[in-house]
Amino acid sequence: MLSLKKLTWEVLVSASINVSAPGKLMLFGEHAVVYGYSCIVTAVDQRVYVKAGFNGKDELVVNAPQLGVSGYRKKVDRLCDQEMPKQVSFIEAVVRRFYQNYGLVRGLEIATRSDFSHSYGFGSSSAITMATATALSKLYLIKLSKKQLFDLCYQAVLDIQGVGSGFDLAAALWGKTLLYKKGARLVKKMILDQLPIVVCYSGVKADTPTLVRQVAEFKRKKPRKVKQIFNKIEQLVLQTEKVIIQKDWQGVGKLMNTNQRLLEDLGVSTLKLEKLNKTALNAGAYGAKLSGAGGGDCMIAVCLQSKRDAVEQALIKAGGEIMPVKLNSKGVTWQKK
């Protein structure tokens, strides 16, 4: 006869869902996108994985060994009701939103793992949120449209972060490379079979909400100046869409450099990022810019294949860490086990 413990595990395993969702890389239009302008984001081949199943209890149990979370427990009617470790806050928030929206409250066992460290700024929190929401919809057999899934996750992310455009959730959900507007008001898949870029981590972890609030403060003080910057960013994002399709990498590089200067005007760049950009340009890249909120995380540079090695070596010498990521990856996927 099976013991109760074994039986619970059998139930969990038989009904568990495995989901994976990609991380993201912001290519153009960061910050302006928070105010309703367009950005270009791509899904990367580094993914997060969520395994979820019912546990027959009245608790949410989370295991995320890479984040130092083991056997974290919370009663299902107490989700988000007190300080939570940051690592599980997005999971708690999205489970709570799901329960609220669909009135279904059962204990869950959730395990996560990731291809990449959350330090790199590839959007692991958003990818985990999207993977968890997808797992819940499959476990409960609730058919959600992509927009419903997006909205559920966007609410959860705003519950935790308070700010953001949702571009990272869009990349996790739809995958590929997207022309995107806040709240998924525009989600247009771009035709992009390649974009020869080098991705380099600056060694400094950035805090996105802090930088978004910093820009909000700057906008409050200098509304006209910031509006002008955002308008210029919008124009270059729309130009980039065309230039990428033509595979005009030199043109893409020029637009990258312009976007970088506008981000410097916004006050979100750093000396380290600028040093890495300059290094890439000196080594033969067509263009370089920071990617994401600024303050640290990654920079990207566009260069021909023939220059890639020289650009990468120069960046390493300047203190950067090359991230071997591929762009234009598949959005969220799931499997029943």
What's the min distance (Å) between Cβ of 228 and ligand PMV? 18
**239 in helix, strand or coil?**
helix
- From 115, 151, 168, 297, active-site residue: 168
Amino acid at position 204, single letter: V
Measured from the CB atom, is 234 or 297 closer to ligand PMV? 297
Residue range at the interface with ligand PMV (CB under 6 A); choices 8-16, 69-77, 98-106, 291-299: 291-299
By CB under 6 A, tell whether 127 contacts ligand PMV: no
Reduce the secondary structure of 80-149 to three states and give it as a string. Answer: CCCCCCHHHHHHHHHHHHHHHHHCCCCCEEEEEEECCCHHHCCCHHHHHHHHHHHHHHHHCCCCCCHHHH
Residue range at the interface with ligand PMV (CB under 6 A); choices 69-77, 165-173, 249-257, 309-317: 165-173
Instruction: Name residues whose C-beta falls within 8 Å of residue 74's C-beta, 6 or more positions apart in sequence.
Output: 59, 60, 84, 92
By CB under 6 A, tell whether 138 contacts ligand PMV: no
| Through-space distance between the first and last CA atoms of the chain, rounded to whole angstroms | 23
Instruction: Name residues whose C-beta falls within 8 Å of residue 163's C-beta, 6 or more positions apart in sequence.
Output: 34, 209, 212, 213, 216
What's the min distance (Å) between Cβ of 180 and ligand PMV? 9
Residue range at the interface with ligand PMV (CB under 6 A); choices 59-67, 143-151, 230-238, 289-297: 289-297
Q: Which of 209, 202, 187 is nearest to 275 (CA)?
A: 202
By CB under 6 A, tell whether 293 contacts ligand PMV: yes
Side-chain-facing half-sphere of 141: CA atoms under 13 Å:
1
What is the rounded distance in angstroms from the CA atom of residue 194 to the CA atom of residue 248? 11
By CB under 6 A, tell whether 31 contacts ligand PMV: yes
By CB under 6 A, tell whether 33 contacts ligand PMV: yes
What is the rounded distance in angstroms from the CA atom of residue 63 to the CA atom of residue 74? 12
Residue 168 a catalytic site member: yes
What's the min distance (Å) between Cβ of 182 and ligand PMV? 7
What's the min distance (Å) between Cβ of 35 and ligand PMV? 9
Measured from the CB atom, is 24 or 176 closer to ligand PMV? 24
Residues identified as active-site: 168
Binding site for ligand PMV (CB under 6 A): 26, 30-31, 33-34, 121, 123, 164-165, 167-168, 206, 208, 212, 292-293, 297
